[in-house]
Amino acid sequence: MKLIISTLKTPIITMKKTPPKKQKKNLSSFEKLLLGLEKPNLPHLKEPLRRGSVCPQCGLGTLDYNGMLQLECHACGFVNGEAGGCT
């Protein structure tokens, strides 16, 4: 929708801004546990999880370190080791 403001010499045309769309955030397994959305699912693993491993929860994403040095799946929000790591 355009709004035209007429002045003495030249009209000023302004556009109404539309609010940005909210992106849906994938909740981590810890956030889901705190909110009571699902029971904890403990995966049975043959090997320890490492960076680049296939996610044991969804099987679609790969694990990578987040800012708290936790292995996290960006596809489903699975987080391994809620405590993080020391630097």
Q: What is the pLDDT of residues 67-80, one digit of tens each?
A: 888 899 989 888 88
Q: Is residue 51 part of a domain?
A: yes
Q: Is residue 1 part of a domain?
A: no
> To the nearest 5 percent, what fractions of the chain are helix, strand and coil?
10, 20, 70
Q: What is the pLDDT of residues 5-20, one digit of tens each?
A: 555 566 566 666 777 7
52-75 b/e with 16+ CB inside 10 Å = b?
ebebbbeeebebeeeeeebbbbee
The residue ranking higher by pLDDT, 3 or 58, is 58
Helix or strand or coil: residue 29?
A: helix
Domain containing residue 43: 20-87
Domain count, the chain: 1
Q: What is the pLDDT of residues 21-38, one digit of tens each?
A: 776 777 777 788 788 887
Q: Is residue 68 part of a domain?
A: yes
